[in-house]
Structure formats: C-alpha cells, structure tokens
C-alpha cells in the first residue's frame, strides 16, 4: 500500500540544481585532501561592506525589530529611488519602489500579480532557472525561447514576436544575464518594450546584475520603458546575498496589489536588513562596491581571453555580472559529464549548462569569477594541463 502522501505535480517539474551535485562532489574531494578551485559559486566572494555591517549592528542594538510595512521602510524606498536618479539617471517616485525579501520574492510577487493558470511567460533559454520555477509554481507556463550568440544570448523584439501566442502574458528579460553575463543593448530594449506593449503583454526586467556592468554606462530598462516591472537586489552589487533584500520598481497602479500579495506571502521584508541597507548608499560604501566592481572587471579581462586560448567558445564578450558561459563542444557533448571529469581530473568546479535550460545545454558550462585573480590563474593552469596533456 502507498503510504506516502501524493505530492502536487509542480514539485516533480521543478528540477534540482545540478550544480549542487558538483558542490557535494567537490566537498567530498576536499574532505579527502584534494584542493578544488571553486568556479561554480553564484555569489560575490567579497564580504558585506563594513559600513553596512556597522549599521546592522547598531540597528539590532537599538531594538525595535518589528515587522515593517509590507512595502518596506519608507526611508529605504526613498533611498532606492534616489539611487536610480544618481546612478542610472532615471526619475522614480519612491511610492513605486517595493522592498522585498531578495529579488527572489520580487520575481515571485510580480509573477503572482500577472500569471493565471496556463498563461505563458516568455524567457530566454539559457536563463536563471528559479524564474521558470516561480511561473510553474503559480501554474503558469514558463516558455523558454532559445537564444544564441547571434543575439548576444538575449531575447530580441523579433524573437518575442515569433514566440508570442494567445496565452502569452508577458516577457522576462534578465540584463545582464545569468548564466551568460550579456546585456540587452538600449536600442533593442526599447524595441522589446514597444513590441511587448503592442502585443498587449507586460515586460519584466531582472536587473540584479546591472550594478556590475563593465563596458560603458549601465542602462536601466526604466530609461526606455517607464511601465516595465524592474526587479533588482542588494545581493550582488552590494555583496549582501545572505541579507535577503531586493526590490521592485512597479508601475504605480500596481503597487497596492503587490502590497497585498507581499502582506500575505511574507508580511514584510527583514527589518534589520532594511535598516542596514540604508548604509549601502553612503559614499564610503559606494566607494567599496565600486572598487570591487573594478576587481570583477579585471577578473573578466583575465579570464575570457585565457579560456578562449584553451579552446572554450565565448563568441560574445560578457559585460556584466560575474559569469562566463562557454561552449565546450571542442571537448565534449555532455556538460554534466564534462563538469564531473574536470572536477575529478583538474580540481576545478564548474556549473553544467543543463542547469539553465534545454537549448544546447549539454554544449555549455558556466564559469563564475567569484574568486581572486591568483585562483583564476590556478584554474587556467589546471585546465590547461587537463585538457592538453
């Protein structure tokens, strides 16, 4: 007799992260005395900036750690709005900013606002897997549109037009992207916004890596579409992954409904984390994170040519975030096996492309440059010895 409770079908359709298997195997090798260079990690190696830690300690010592408004502390909403003016040159009313428990909660709220059962959200394949999962959890249909080097591994207005169907409700673009580190150019973002609007859909732009842009001025999609939902976070640029704080910039008419959803889903974003986040916008914190952005850029400038020289295919220079999405067809047609072999043979941990979708996923791996330059050089030396014995 079946004794286990029957689970909802959605659970079976949410794939576990294969990178976790890489991490488990890497830990086992480390426990056995092997040295491993970790290039599978998806978070900055830099610690939270000291002024933010100080602010958190002061906030906790002062007490008053109660729920805040579901929309977040008013002074933090105002500070985020001001950051858009100073950093990206776009005016945002503080009332449009909704502070969330990471951009994960931001994505969940926006999808909960927009998606009915069986309605489609178009997104790039390869792309960040959790976004697909949020749509699925809400009984919608995440619809992966294959993207390749010809479009900078990003959606275009043309691809969206071709993939659109009567059940399509909206489009999610992540720029810069995880796993490809590539960005949608301003003119294409404007075309995408126009197209989605003309099709009667809603544009959502995940800008969690926008602060970590390396070539030219970073451009928020708000500069070309004031009516898009923008999702962002303190996790990456401000080095605050564990503090679980992000935000949405929403069209004003949707704020009340997003507030209702946030109230029900998690009541409010974490209070000490919000108080500490106010210190993110101090000049001394911005100086620290800017210096780290330069360090990420220097790492990228070292890593990409070195990987190309080894035979990895990187046809488009990644210009944001901290990922390189590399074609491995010179070496293998099975990214999962390749990651296992590189881990065991070279002691370098990578993420297989199959974590990011289906389109040519077995032909790609993701490198994270969340390690210092000497470690990157060590990884290259190990890969060279392994791939060209």
- 27-35, 101-109, 276-284, 301-309 -> range binding ligand PLP (CB under 6 A): 101-109
Shortest spacing between CB 161 and ligand PLP, in angstroms: 24
Q: Is 126 in the site for ligand PLP (CB under 6 A)?
A: no
Residue 370 is a binding residue for ligand PLP (CB under 6 A)? no
CA atoms within 13 A on the CB side of 334: 5
Helix axes 335-346, 18-31, angle to 10 degrees: 10
Judged by CB under 6 A, does residue 208 bind ligand PLP?
A: yes
Stretch that binds ligand PLP, among 27-35, 102-110, 146-154, 258-266 (CB under 6 A): 102-110
Indicate the residue among 145 and 346 with the shorter CB distance to ligand PLP: 145
Question: Which stretch in 98-106, 196-204, 262-270, 273-281 sits in contact with ligand PLP by CB under 6 A?
Answer: 98-106
Residue 25 CA to residue 143 CA, distance in Å, equals 32
Contact between 102 and ligand PLP by CB under 6 A: the answer reads yes
Q: Nearest CA to 19 among 343, 304, 370, 374?
A: 343
Near ligand PLP by CB under 6 A: residue from 19, 40, 42, 276: 42
User: Rounded to whole angstroms, how far apart are CA atoms 98 and 77?
Assistant: 7
Decide if 97 contacts 249 (C-beta within 8 A): yes
Q: Determine the interface stretch with ligand PLP among 97-105, 156-164, 265-273, 379-387 (rule: CB under 6 A).
A: 97-105
* DSSP-derived 3-state class of residue 191: helix
With DSSP H G I counted as helix, E B as strand and the rest as coil, what are the percentages for the chain, rounded to 5?
50, 15, 40
Among 84, 88, 128, 296, binds ligand PLP (CB under 6 A): 128
- With CB under 6 A as the rule, give the number of residues binding ligand PLP: 13
- For residue 243, give both structure tokens: 């503090």
Choose between 132 and 191: whose C-beta lies nearer to ligand PLP.
132
Rule CB under 6 A: choose which of 23, 68, 103, 154 binds ligand PLP.
103
Q: Are 236 and 261 in contact (CB under 8 A)?
A: no
Which runs of consecutive H residues, i.e. helices, occur in the chain?
A: 9-12, 18-31, 50-61, 74-88, 102-114, 129-137, 157-163, 186-198, 255-266, 271-277, 283-310, 335-346, 373-387
Of 133, 86, 127, 78, residue with least CA distance to 249: 78
Residue 180, interface with ligand PLP (CB under 6 A)?
no
CA pair distance 365, 342, nearest whole angstrom: 11
User: Exactly one of 206, 327, 336, 355 binds ligand PLP (CB under 6 A); which one?
Assistant: 206
Q: Select the residue interacting with ligand PLP from 39, 174, 193, 383 (CB under 6 A).
A: 174
To the nearest whole angstrom, how small is the minimum distance from the Cβ of residue 129 to ligand PLP?
9
Residue whose C-alpha is closest to residue 231's, from 161, 128, 359: 128
Region binding ligand PLP by CB under 6 A among candidate stretches 89-97, 100-108, 183-191, 359-367: 100-108
Site for ligand PLP in 294-333 (CB under 6 A): none
**178 forms part of the interface with ligand PLP (CB under 6 A):** yes
Burial of 282 (0-12, 13-18, 19+ CB in 10 A): middle
Binding site for ligand PLP (CB under 6 A): 42, 102-104, 128, 174, 178, 206, 208, 233, 235, 241, 246
């Amino acid at each position: 007799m079946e004794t286990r409770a029957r689970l909802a079908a959605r659970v079976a359709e949410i794939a576990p992260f294969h990178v976790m298997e890489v991490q488990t195997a890497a830990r086992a090798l480390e426990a056995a005395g092997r040295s491993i260079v970790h290039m599978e990690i998806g978070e900055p190696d830099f610690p939270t900036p000291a002024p933010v830690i100080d602010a958190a300690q002061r906030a906790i010592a002062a007490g008053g750690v109660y729920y805040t408004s579901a929309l977040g502390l008013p002074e933090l909403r105002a500070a985020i709005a001001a950051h858009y003016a100073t950093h990206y040159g776009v005016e945002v009313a503080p009332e449009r900013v909704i502070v969330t428990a990471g951009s994960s909660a931001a994505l969940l709220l926006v999808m909960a606002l927009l998606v009915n059962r069986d309605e489609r959200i178009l997104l790039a394949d390869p792309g960040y897997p959790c976004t697909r999962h949020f749509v699925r959890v809400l009984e919608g249909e995440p619809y992966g549109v294959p993207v390749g080097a010809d479009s900078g591994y990003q959606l275009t207005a043309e691809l969206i037009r071709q993939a659109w169907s009567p059940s399509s409700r909206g489009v999610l673009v992540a720029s810069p992207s995880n796993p490809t580190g590539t960005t949608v150019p301003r003119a294409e973002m404007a075309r995408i916004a126009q197209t989605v609007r003309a099709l009667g859909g809603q544009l959502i732009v995940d800008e969690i890596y926008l602060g970590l842009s390396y070539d030219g001025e970073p451009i928020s999609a708000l500069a070309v579409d004031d009516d898009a939902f923008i999702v962002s976070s303190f996790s990456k640029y401000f080095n605050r992954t564990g503090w679980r704080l992000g935000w949405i910039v929403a069209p004003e008419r949707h704020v009340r409904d997003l507030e209702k959803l946030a109230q029900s889903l998690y009541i409010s974003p974490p209070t000490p984390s919000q108080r500490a986040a106010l210190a993110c916008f101090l000049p001394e914190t911005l100086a620290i994170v800017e210096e780290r952005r330069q360090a990420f850029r220097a790492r990228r400038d070292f890593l990409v040519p070195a990987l190309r020289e080894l035979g990895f295919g990187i046809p488009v220079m990644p210009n944001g975030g901290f990922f390189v999405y590399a074609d491995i067809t010179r070496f293998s047609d099975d990214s999962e096996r390749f990651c296992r072999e590189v881990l065991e043979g070279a002691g370098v941990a990578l993420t297989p492309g199959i974590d990011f979708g289906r389109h040519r996923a077995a032909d790609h791996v993701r490198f994270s440059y969340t390690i210092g330059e000497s470690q990157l050089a060590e990884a290259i030396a190990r890969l060279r010895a392994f791939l060209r014995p």
